[in-house]
A and B are shown apart, each in its own frame.
Chain A
Amino acid sequence: MQAEATQSTSEIAAQQPGSKPSRLLAVDALRGLIIVFMALDHANYFIAQKHPTSEIWDGMFPVYYDTLTFLTRFITHFAAPGFFLLMGVGMFLFARSRSERGWSRWAVIRHFWIRGVLLMALQLLIVNRAWELSLQGWATEFYIGVLFCLGASMILASLLLWLKPPYLLALTLVLFIGTELLHPGLGMWNSVSHSPVSVIHLYPGGNSVLWSYYPIWPWMELVVFGIFFGNWLSQDPRRAFSRAWKLGLAFLLAFVAIRAFDGFGNIRPRMGNSWIDFLNVVKYPPSMAFTLMTTGVNLIVLWLFSRIGPRLQPFVQPLVVFGRSPLLFYVLHLFLYAGIAHLIAPNGTSIPLMLPFWLLGMLILYPLCFLYGQFKRRQPVNSLVHLF
Chain B
Amino acid sequence: MHRNKVLLPSLLLAGLLAIASCSFSLPEGTDGSIALIPFWDEEQGIQGVQPMEDWSEEATIRQIAVPFSSEEAMALLLKETDLSALPEAAGRFKGKAFTWTLYEFESHLEELPVGIVHFDMAVAESEATTYVVALLALPDAYDANRAMYNTVYTHALYALEPME
Chain A residues engaging chain B, CB cutoff 8 angstroms: 48, 50, 52-53, 59-70, 73, 186-187, 269, 271-273, 277, 321, 340, 343-353, 356-357, 359-360, 363-364, 366-367, 370-371, 374
Q: How far is the CA of A343 from the CA of B37 in the complex (A)?
A: 34
* Complex contacts, B52 vs chain A, CB 8 Å: 60
In this assembly, does B9 line the interface, its C-beta being within 8 Å of a C-beta of chain A?
yes
Report the nearest A residue to B156, measured CB to CB: A272
Cβ-neighbour of B158 out of A73, A273, A343, A345 (below 8 A): A273
In this assembly, does B141 line the interface, its C-beta being within 8 Å of a C-beta of chain A?
no
Task: Verify B32–A360 contact, CB threshold 8 A.
Answer: no
Task: Verify A53–B35 contact, CB threshold 8 A.
Answer: yes
Task: Verify B151–A65 contact, CB threshold 8 A.
Answer: yes
* Interface pairs A-B: 4 shortest CB-CB: A69-B32, A350-B29, A66-B32, A65-B151
Q: How far is the CA of A344 from the CA of B18 in the complex (A)?
A: 13
Contacts A/B (CB < 8 Å), 26 sampled: A50-B33, A60-B35, A60-B37, A65-B150, A66-B147, A68-B32, A69-B31, A69-B32, A186-B38, A186-B47, A271-B49, A271-B155, A272-B159, A340-B20, A347-B25, A348-B29, A350-B27, A350-B30, A351-B29, A353-B29, A356-B16, A363-B12, A363-B16, A364-B13, A370-B2, A370-B5
Q: How far is the CA of A64 from the CA of B124 in the complex (A)?
A: 25
CB proximity of B79 to chain A, nearest CB, Å: 33
* Complex contacts, B164 vs chain A, CB 8 Å: 187
Task: Verify A65–B148 contact, CB threshold 8 A.
Answer: yes
Report the nearest B residue to A61, measured CB to CB: B36
* Complex contacts, B2 vs chain A, CB 8 Å: 370, 374
Q: How far is the CA of A70 from the CA of B33 in the complex (A)?
A: 8
Task: Verify A272–B155 contact, CB threshold 8 A.
Answer: yes
Report the nearest B residue to A53, measured CB to CB: B35
Interface of B is mostly: mixed
CB proximity of A263 to chain B, nearest CB, Å: 12
Further 4 A-B residue pairs, CB within 8 A, beyond A187-B164, A345-B26, A353-B27: A50-B32, A66-B147, A269-B159, A344-B20
Q: A-B pairs with CB below 8 Å: how many?
A: 127
Task: Verify A62–B34 contact, CB threshold 8 A.
Answer: yes
Which range holds the interface residue count of chain B? 35 or more
Report the nearest A residue to B93, measured CB to CB: A273
CB contact under 8 A between A348 and B28, given known A64-B151, A357-B20 = yes
CB proximity of A105 to chain B, nearest CB, Å: 38
Chain B residues engaging chain A, CB cutoff 8 angstroms: 2, 5-6, 9-10, 12-13, 16-17, 19-20, 23-38, 40, 47, 49, 52, 94-96, 147-148, 150-152, 154-155, 158-159, 164
CB proximity of A244 to chain B, nearest CB, Å: 29
* Complex contacts, B27 vs chain A, CB 8 Å: 349-350, 353
Cβ-neighbour of A62 out of B35, B38, B148, B154 (below 8 A): B35
Q: How far is the CA of A161 from the CA of B153 in the complex (A)?
A: 51
* Complex contacts, A70 vs chain B, CB 8 Å: 32-33
* Complex contacts, A59 vs chain B, CB 8 Å: 37
Task: Verify B158–A271 contact, CB threshold 8 A.
Answer: yes
* Complex contacts, B12 vs chain A, CB 8 Å: 363
CB contact under 8 A between A367 and B10, given known A65-B151, A69-B33 = yes
Cβ-neighbour of B33 out of A64, A186, A353, A366 (below 8 A): A64
